[in-house]
Amino acid sequence: MEQASPRRRPPRPKLKMPLIGNMLGGASNSSAKDPSLLSSKLTPLIVGVVIIIYAIDYVRSKNDTHGVYQGVDDIKEMAWNGKVAKKWVNIIPPDNEIHYMFQIIDAKGEVQTVDLGNEKAGLGDLMMPKNTLIKKAGSFDVTVKRYFKNDTTIVLKY
């Protein structure tokens, strides 16, 4: 007694992503051998744009005019009269040193990035973004103007 073989169904088409091509192999298919015209032009274009953007970002970071002011001498020579735009903390691994860093934007729009280093008076804990810092050149006295509290003057200690 011979059984009738079940009807063989045709193979399913491979998954395709628009503009990219086949997702799951299918190298034996004829569609894999001739990629779509749009995907063959789009991928090199995307790679080229990414390389150009990376190069522009690299050149801009190399030509950046403002650096990080750090150390007692640099901070003493600086004059601050502006708002704190950003504040963050760097923890340096071997001894877990805490370095408070912040950016001040003055009235002219110039940005100064300051690393307080091992400052012991606690200015990093006291100030917050949007507070105004006032410091004269050649002095360690910093006045912090805050919204809801009285203005505070701190003497930086190193």
Residue 9 lies in a domain: no
Please tell me the predicted confidence (pLDDT) of residue 11. 83
> Residue 90's closest CA among 55, 114, 57, 62?
114
Please give the pLDDT value at position 138.
Answer: 94
pLDDT of residue 21: 58
How big, in percent rounded to 5, are the helix, strand and coil portions of the chain?
A: 25, 30, 45
- 87 in a domain, yes or no? yes
**In this predicted structure, what is the pLDDT of residue 71?**
85
Question: Would you say the pTM of this structure is higher than 0.95?
Answer: no
Residue closest to 78 by CA, chosen among 92, 66, 90, 60: 66
pLDDT tens per residue, range 11-63: 887 777 666 655 555 555 555 455 566 667 788 889 999 999 999 999 888 77
- pLDDT value at position 114? 93
In angstroms, the Cα distances linking 51 to 60, 64, 78, 153 are 14, 20, 38, 49
Per-residue confidence at 101, pLDDT binned at 50, 70, 90?
very high
Does any domain span residue 84? yes
Structure tokens at 3: 């059984």
In a domain, 5, yes or no: no
How many of the other CB atoms lie within 10 Å of CB of 84? 19
Q: Which pLDDT score, from 0 to 100, does residue 17 have?
A: 67
Helix H or strand E segment including 38: helix 37-62
What digits encode the pLDDT tens for the residues 103-155? 999 989 888 999 998 888 889 888 999 999 999 999 999 999 988 889 999 99
Q: Return d(Cα 50, Cα 45) in angstroms, integer.
A: 9
Looking at residue 115, its pLDDT comes to 92
In angstroms, how far apart are the furthest CA atoms of the chain? 107
Helix (H, G, I), strand (E, B) or coil at 61: helix
Q: Quick one: 78 and 151 in the same domain?
A: yes
Reported as type and span, the H/E element at residue 43 is helix 37-62
What's the confidence (pLDDT) of residue 56? 94
Instruction: Indicate the number of domains in the chain.
Output: 2
CATH code where residue 73 lies? 2.40.50
- 1 occurs within a structural domain: no
